[in-house]
Structure 1
Amino acid sequence: MSDDEQLRVSKIPRGTVIDHITGGEAMHVLSILGIEGGDGDTVSIVMNAPSDRLGTKDIVKVEDRELSQAELDVLSLIAPAATINIIRDFEVVEKDRVSRPEEVAGVLSCPNRNCITTGNEPVESRFDVLAEGVRCAYCGTIVRDDIADLID
């Protein structure tokens, strides 16, 4: 059996498999999901695996958890080619590609210290999703890189 044919990580009984993450971005995905390693989540990570479509890809398997729409929205910003597989009883019961929303609300923090969303005002952050990044709906700050660093 060749390396490409081997199962690199065993199947999970239930949870979510995030496949086709851009190579090297798995740690950002864990950040989006709030997984830090000490919280008891069972997680498998494959980084920089060969991929016909992406060149290299990462895969994240999270047992006993299905992702919220807000998590999927932010995930789509750093892994636009990702596929989400919902697993139950060791079988894929649902498979979807992430889709980029027009806007994300309440999940990112504006890096502009003078933005109304960073003060003591009761204002939920909102970002317009652009082809090249995200733009704060309040102050207009554009973020092109390190979007995962903005996660609340």
Structure 2
Amino acid sequence: MRETMAVEAIETGTVIDHIPAGQGLNILARIQSHNAQARVTVGLNLPSKGSGQKDIIKVEGWLFSEQDAAEMALYAPKATVNIIQGYRVVNKFQIGLPSAFVDIFACPNSNCISHAEPVSSRFYVKADSDSVQLRCHFCERSFSDSLFKH
């Protein structure tokens, strides 16, 4: 007999699927930094045909733009975003890494001018098949993406 998990469907909102297992809580933190009152359903370490395990997040009442999704890209660059209206998927897209992250992360370099001046942080993204590097616009130092993941 096949077991299934029942998770309540959402009428309107966003479903982020195919999040690498263990990264769902990082994405949840980003969502809550924008809207602490968001109604969210989180599934952690769920079975996945492609990767063995995955996380999934459902956010009711918030239709993510590609810009909203780009903020989550460092944690789940290959995740899928499903926009739901009337209980149906009306738009679907891959997150993908943006060319830059603006005002999302603080620079790990404590001597960076961005800590002393009222400016938005900006990191340029350089990705290859094995890693992601973020270069600060202000101090020009490069950092591994692992410094920004919790």
- Bin for the TM-score computed over the shorter chain: 0.7 to 0.9
* Residue 137 of structure 1: how far off its partner (Å): 2.0
Residue identity in the other structure for 1:125: S
User: How far does the alpha carbon of each residue in 1:97-143 deviate from its partner, in whole angstroms, 9 at most, with x for none?
Assistant: 11211111122211211111111x23221101122232212221413
* Residue 70 of structure 1: how far off its partner (Å): 3.7
Residue identity in the other structure for 1:46: G
Other-structure match for 2:143: 142
SS of residue matched to 1:17: strand
* Residue 53 of structure 1: how far off its partner (Å): 1.4
CA separation in 1, counterparts of 2:50 and 2:28?
Answer: 22
* C-alpha distance 92-10 of structure 1, shift in aligned 2 (>3 A): same
Aligned residues: 145
Please give the TM-score of this superposition, normalised by the length of structure 1: 0.85
* 1:112/1:141 contact within 8 Å kept: no
Percent identity of equivalent pairs: 37
Unpaired stretches in structure 2, ≥5 consecutive residues: none
Where in structure 2 are the equivalents of 1:116-135 lying within 5 Å? 116-119=113-116, 121-131=117-127, 132-133=131-132, 134-135=134-135
2:112 maps to 1:115? yes
* Residue 65 of structure 1: how far off its partner (Å): 0.6
CA separation in 1, counterparts of 2:34 and 2:70?
Answer: 20
SS of residue matched to 1:128: strand
* Residue 13 of structure 1: how far off its partner (Å): 0.7
2:99 maps to 1:99? no
CA separation in 1, counterparts of 2:68 and 2:29?
Answer: 10
* 2:64/2:83 contact within 8 Å kept: no
SS of residue matched to 1:78: coil
Other-structure match for 2:19: 21
* C-alpha distance 40-34 of structure 1, shift in aligned 2 (>3 A): closer
User: How far does the alpha carbon of each residue in 1:18-42 deviate from its partner, in whole angstroms, 9 at most, with x for none?
Assistant: 00000111110011112599x4322
SS of residue matched to 1:81: coil
* 2:17/2:81 contact within 8 Å kept: yes
The Cα RMSD (Å) is 2.1
CA separation in 1, counterparts of 2:148 and 2:66?
Answer: 17
